[in-house]
Amino acid sequence: MTAPPAVPRSFREASARRRLLDLLDPGSFRELLGPAARESSPHLAALDLPVSFDDGVVVGAGRLGGEPVLAAGQEGRFLGGAVGEVHGAKLTGLLQRALRERPRAVLLLLDTGGVRLQEANAGIEAVSEVMRAVLSARGAGVPVLALVGGAWGCFGGMGIVARCCDAVVMSEEARLGLSGPDVIEASRGVEELDASDRAMVWRTWGGKHRALLGEADELVEDDPAAFRRAALEWVRRPRPLSLPALEREQAFLARRLEELGGCADGPDAWRAAGVAEPDRLPLLDLPAWSAAVGGARRRRP
Amino acid sequence: MTRDWSRARRDRAERLERARGLADGKWVEAERAPALLEALLRPGDRVCLEGDNQKQADFLARSLARVDPARVHDLHLVQSVVALPEHLELFERGVGRRLDFSFSGPQAVRLAQLAGSGRLEIGAIHTYVELYARYFVDLTPRVALVAAQAADAEGNLYTGPNTEDTPAIVEATAFKDGLVVAQVNERVERLPRVDVPAGWVDYLVRAPAPSTIEPLFTRDPALIGEVQVLMAMMVIRGIYAEYGVQRLNHGIGFDTAAIELLLPTYGEELGLRGKVCRHWALNPHPTLIPAVESGFVESVHSFGSELGMEAYVAARPDVFFTGRDGSLRSNRAFSQLAGHYACDLFIGSTLQMDLEGNSSTATRSRVTGFGGAPNMGCDARGRRHASPAWVRAGREGGGAVMPRGRKLVVQLLETWREHMEPAFVERLDAWELAGAMRMELPPVMIYGDDVTHVVTEEGVANLLLCRTPEERAEAIRGVAGYTPVGRGRSRAAVEALRDRGAIRRPEDLGIDVRRATRDLLAARSVKELVRWSGGLYQPPARFRSW
Amino acid sequence: MEHLAFEMDSREEGGPARPPVLVGAVGSGNLEVLVEPGGGAGRCRVEVHTSAPGFAAVWEAVLRDFAGRHPVAGLSLAVNDGGATPAVVTLRLGQALEEYRRPGR
């Protein structure tokens, strides 16, 4: 008889608050501007739509490995984690607080489809402000990490935010990109992209593909403890935000585009990157995947 | 005057003669399929166009939809499932006139429209075994158009794991001088196994594309909710453990998938391994994998197969029925019999229930039918062998002087469906549907007098313990929650039923409602099912998130 | 959106005042419940914003039963609802109360 595999707690299924509690040192998290403050969206209320007491994002302070950090978690179950004006202001405010408090790092637990369409320009502006705040924090020497492991993944403007961070940690089940599959199908038609073909969706936006391309710096199991280990590691490895560093990154991206830009599908890119049997990759567990991709994995400088 | 006793045989010979020249031996080129059907068919023929629960003779359906309606018209179609658009195109073009079937799934709305417009006459909506039975009595097909995975040169057929209806259809047709045409995905030198012998098959066509098979029985554990976990806990503790249910059939849906996924966790915790759920009549549901792997499940006979489960089934021959080639051998007719006569319990979900306990999934604008659920969701009055669960249910039902057993028939439903539609009603929508479609009877899936237990998030109603129709109605109200029907209950009557165990709330069953979370599921995603299977389960692309 | 407000009798006190908790999320068929101190002696105050109008009587029945079975006196519950069924509402209320009272939170 096969021994039943252990069923670990899932990071993906946890609420935003639960994820933060699991990520930080036990008992250390203090929420700022919590739900009792009832800072909910005036736009949604004006449209007679349901609101959330925290506008779908939890922000606060805590400790990671004993050191002070600021952290935010988006609640993907509320409007797909979409960023509205209040939601975005809470993220921006947290990042600006970092300029004052100088924590060891800011951790962003992203789970979002991007801008909240109901809030239109206010939402777009909010996301731009988050981008600027991420870069300001980094510029001031506070590393910012993106941890992407929720059911929505991270799309739209928030996909750009993730890639403005010092590092991106993803689970295999998470997705990262700009326009997501549903958006592409809705705007370009099912002939262009069939969003119900989940295997295709994951080999295009999923964690394994992103990690192989160097978009994600580390790929972890869908396990709160694995995200915590990765966060402990990556807060110690900030990337400089300097002109030479950006030029190195630009060169990396240009080279990657030249090598893989012509590939039509994930496995084509994996083969072109140097993986021997690319079609096997989606089915491999993470250790086997790491061994199989080996040196073919691109790494952001 | 001497009577001619072989008219059908001579008619068959005439038809074969007309088709001569279209075939090379038994083999017909795909593009000549419509011509073959025009040669073989006569107006008004009774035709079985194999449409199973999963496998579809889709190429032959398309070919039949292309015949000249001037030559072939007014056919009487007899088939268990109406699943493809082509099935209804036949009626739009006048090729078909009358339809006897069991289930219509995705075509339910269009079927209702065609029937309403008078272009399609519905003979009757059957249950599966009922329709197969009529193939051998008064609905014997003149021509059967079936689907198989492969054939050899002689015409022996290999159906692959989805054997489903094929043996029943071919047997009824071939042995009454009918004609059998099979579409196959491939022609091979040597078949892995023979599911239908060549002598029963007249013509073979290699289909340009493999026949359609839908993964109808795959339920993604990610979509199971906490309320379903709670109801599954009540079923395991309040029914499976209580009666010691060893042989059973599960309906399709997330409610029963939750039960399957709770056996290795909650069932194990209650010490039920080896005591319940040992033998099953069930398709190879992916959500059953953890229960198989953790030693609950000893045997499974299947109606059909399930995409992605091929390698897993082949690697577990002690559990599943497999051919010498290793692949599953399913058989819908036999599995329905197994579910009816050899199982102590049927459990399934429904959408609507009235105060007599009648339940139906029929709604006003759709004509769906119920497939096989009614065959298993009823007492097997012809059963004579005893088992502890059957005898106990019979004893609880009581009444007559002569003791006899009783099948447990359990209906699962949340008190409110999505969009705040109450699931408990004074009068089923089925009445209106019957009126609109001029049906003889309202389409009821499970009749109230067959139902023994109703399980909702509010508790378990044991209808066996109710002695009068009023008590049954009160027991149903007692688990109907905050629906208008439920709020019509008398608190005193409900408390009296609770004292007798005719209503049991989660706390009466020793269930802590707070434990009803997804953490109790043995697998919470398709990927975890793949892990349980040791990588043998290969889910279709639409169920992957990797 | 429909706004409903109720005052419930509850025999048992919800315990000493603690920091508020939020459980659940607002989505189709789901809801969030905010539990805070407040409501007064022997009373529990409940405010509901729901996207499914026309079910005030059902809410009242669900909430009265919940308040009758659980120690919620002196608490204030606020609900944002996306059309959850009574089954989900009852489960979520139970989880929210348990989280509020969890020692060492």
Share above pLDDT 90 across residues of chain C, in percent, rounded to a whole number: 81
Indicate yes or no: CB of B522 within 8 angstroms of CB of A9: no
Torsion of CA A287, A288, A294, A296, to 10 degrees: -120
pLDDT digits (tens, 9 = 90+) for C53-88: 999 999 999 999 999 889 999 999 999 999 999 999
Q: Which of A121-130, B45-54, B95-104, B110-119 bottoms out in mean pLDDT, i.e. has the lowest?
A: B110-119
User: Which among A19, A53, A75 is the top mutation candidate for probing chain C, defined by the most C β-carbons within 10 Å of its own β-carbon?
Assistant: A53
Select the residue of A4, A198, A206 nearest B522 (Cβ to Cβ).
A4
What is the Cα B363 distance to its own chain's centre?
19
- How far apart (Å, rounded) are the C-alpha atoms in residues A214 and C97? 44
Indicate yes or no: CB of B514 within 8 angstroms of CB of C87: no
Q: Are B203 and B151 in contact (CB under 8 A)?
A: no
Q: What is the CA radius of gyration of chain B?
A: 24
Q: Specify the pLDDT at position A3.
A: 44
Select the residue of B264, B290, B541 nearest A200 (Cβ to Cβ).
B541
Average pLDDT over chain B, rounded to whole? 95
User: Which among C31, C85, C95, C100 is the top mutation candidate for probing chain B, defined by the most B β-carbons within 10 Å of its own β-carbon?
Assistant: C85
> Can you give the CATH number for the domain in which C89 is found?
3.30.230
pLDDT digits (tens, 9 = 90+) for A150-163: 999 999 999 999 99
Q: Are B291 and B297 in contact (CB under 8 A)?
A: yes
- Segment B24-29 shows an average pLDDT of 96
Domain total in chain C? 1
Contacting partners of chain C (3+ CB pairs under 8 A): A, B
Q: What is the 3-state secondary structure (H, E, C) of B409-460?
A: EEEECCCEEHHHEECECCCCCHHHHHHHCCCCCCCCCECHHHCCEEEECCEE
Contacting partners of chain B (3+ CB pairs under 8 A): A, C
- Segment B411-422 shows an average pLDDT of 92
Q: Using CA of residue B285, residue B287, residue B293, residue B295, what is the dihedral sign? A: negative
pLDDT digits (tens, 9 = 90+) for B282-292: 999 999 999 99
Q: Is it the case that residue B419 has pLDDT exceeding 90?
A: no
- How far apart (Å, rounded) are the C-alpha atoms in residues B80 and B56? 11
Q: Specify the pLDDT at position B35.
A: 97
Fill in the DSSP letter of residue B274. T
Cβ neighbours of residue A104 closer than 8 Å, sequence gap 6 or more: A64, A67, A68, A69, A142, A143, A235
Cβ neighbours of residue B363 closer than 8 Å, sequence gap 6 or more: B351, B429, B433
Indicate yes or no: CB of C83 within 8 angstroms of CB of B226: no
Cβ neighbours of residue A113 closer than 8 Å, sequence gap 6 or more: A80, A81, A82, A152, A155, A156, A180
Select the residue of B295, B518, B528 nearest A1 (Cβ to Cβ).
B295
Q: Which residues make beta-bridge pairs with C32?
A: C24, C80
- Segment B340-360 shows an average pLDDT of 96
Q: What is the 3-state secondary structure (H, E, C) of chain C?
A: CEEEEEEEECCCECCCCCCCEEEEEEECCEEEEEEEECCCCCEEEEEEEECCCCCHHHHHHHHHHHHHHCCCECEEEEEEECCCCHHHHHHHHHHHHHHHHCCCC
Burial of A30: CB neighbours in 10 Å, binned 0-12, 13-18, 19+: exposed
Share above pLDDT 70 across residues of chain B, in percent, rounded to a whole number: 99
- How far apart (Å, rounded) are the C-alpha atoms in residues A298 and B433? 61
Six-digit token pair at B410?
């359990």
- Taking CA–CA distances from C93, the nearest residue in chain B reads B514
Kindly list the distances between the CA atom of residue B247 and the CA atoms of B124, B294, B303, B333, B447, in Å, as whole numbers in the listed order: 31, 17, 16, 18, 22
Fill in the DSSP letter of residue A216. S
Residue numbers in A near B541 (CB within 8 A): 197-200
Whether B528 and chain A come into contact, CB under 8 Å, resolves to yes
Q: Using CA of residue B388, residue B389, residue B390, residue B393, what is the dihedral sign? A: positive
List the one residue out of A74, A83, A85, A143 whose CA is nearest residue A111.
A74
Q: Specify the pLDDT at position A6.
A: 52
- Tens digit of each residue's pLDDT, chain A (301 residues): 344 445 568 999 999 999 999 999 999 999 999 999 999 999 999 999 999 999 999 999 999 999 999 999 999 999 999 999 999 999 999 999 999 999 999 999 999 999 999 998 999 999 999 999 999 999 999 999 999 999 999 999 999 999 999 999 999 999 999 999 999 999 999 999 999 889 899 999 999 999 999 999 999 999 999 999 999 999 999 999 999 999 999 999 999 999 999 999 999 999 999 999 999 898 888 999 999 999 999 999 9
Q: Are A204 and A181 in contact (CB under 8 A)?
A: yes
Q: Specify the pLDDT at position C105.
A: 77
- How far apart (Å, rounded) are the C-alpha atoms in residues B433 and B364? 5
Select the residue of C25, C34, C50 nearest A78 (Cβ to Cβ).
C25
> Residue A225, Cβ neighbours under 10 Å: how many?
14
Q: Specify the pLDDT at position B345.
A: 98
Q: Are A16 and A75 in contact (CB under 8 A)?
A: yes
Indicate yes or no: CB of C22 within 8 angstroms of CB of A17: yes
Q: Specify the pLDDT at position C15.
A: 81
- Taking CA–CA distances from C98, the nearest residue in chain B reads B514
State the smallest CA–CA distance between residue A112 and chain C in angstroms.
14
Residue numbers in A near C102 (CB within 8 A): none
Torsion of CA B270, B275, B280, B286, to 10 degrees: 30
- How far apart (Å, rounded) are the C-alpha atoms in residues B397 and B408? 10
Q: Are B484 and B394 in contact (CB under 8 A)?
A: no
Whether B521 and chain A come into contact, CB under 8 Å, resolves to yes
User: Which among A2, A15, A190 is the top mutation candidate for probing chain B, defined by the most B β-carbons within 10 Å of its own β-carbon?
Assistant: A2
Looking at this predicted complex, what is its ipTM?
0.95
Domains and CATH numbers, chain B: 24-206 (3.40.1080.10), 221-526 (3.40.1080.10)
- Segment B111-119 shows an average pLDDT of 90
Q: Are B285 and B304 in contact (CB under 8 A)?
A: no
Indicate yes or no: CB of A35 within 8 angstroms of CB of C1: no
Token pair 């953890």 in the structure block, residue: B290
Domain range spanning residue C90?
Answer: 2-101
> Residue B543, Cβ neighbours under 10 Å: how many?
22
Cβ neighbours of residue A77 closer than 8 Å, sequence gap 6 or more: A15, A151, C25, C26, C27, C30
State the smallest CA–CA distance between residue C28 and chain A in angstroms.
9
- The fold adopted by the segment(s) A16-176+216-239 is 2-enoyl-CoA Hydratase; Chain A, domain 1 (3.90.226)
What is the Cα B39 distance to its own chain's centre?
34
Kindly list the distances between the CA atom of residue B258 and the CA atoms of B254, B284, B294, in Å, as whole numbers in the listed order: 6, 15, 16
Whether C26 and chain A come into contact, CB under 8 Å, resolves to yes
Indicate yes or no: CB of A7 within 8 angstroms of CB of B522: yes
List the one residue out of A14, A7, A83 whose CA is nearest residue A228.
A14
Would strands B416-417 and B421-422 be described as parallel, antiparallel, or unpaired?
Answer: antiparallel
CB pairs under 8 A between B and C: 44
Q: Using CA of residue C95, residue C100, residue C101, residue C103, what is the dihedral sign? A: positive
Q: Are C86 and B222 in contact (CB under 8 A)?
A: no
pLDDT digits (tens, 9 = 90+) for B29-86: 999 999 999 999 999 999 999 999 999 999 999 999 999 999 999 999 999 999 999 9
Six-digit token pair at B253?
């849906």
**Integer distance in angstroms from the first to the last C-alpha of chain C?**
33
- Taking CA–CA distances from C82, the nearest residue in chain B reads B419
Select the residue of A15, A53, A56 nearest C34 (Cβ to Cβ).
A53
- How far apart (Å, rounded) are the C-alpha atoms in residues A84 and A87? 5
- How far apart (Å, rounded) are the C-alpha atoms in residues B73 and B43? 5
State the smallest CA–CA distance between residue C30 and chain A in angstroms.
9
Q: Specify the pLDDT at position A4.
A: 45
- How far apart (Å, rounded) are the C-alpha atoms in residues B317 and B323? 9
- If one compares B15 and B214, the residue with the highest pLDDT of the two is B15
**Integer distance in angstroms from the first to the last C-alpha of chain B?**
75
Average pLDDT over chain C, rounded to whole? 93
- How far apart (Å, rounded) are the C-alpha atoms in residues B83 and B101? 11
Indicate yes or no: CB of B544 within 8 angstroms of CB of A198: yes
Six-digit token pair at B134?
């009529």
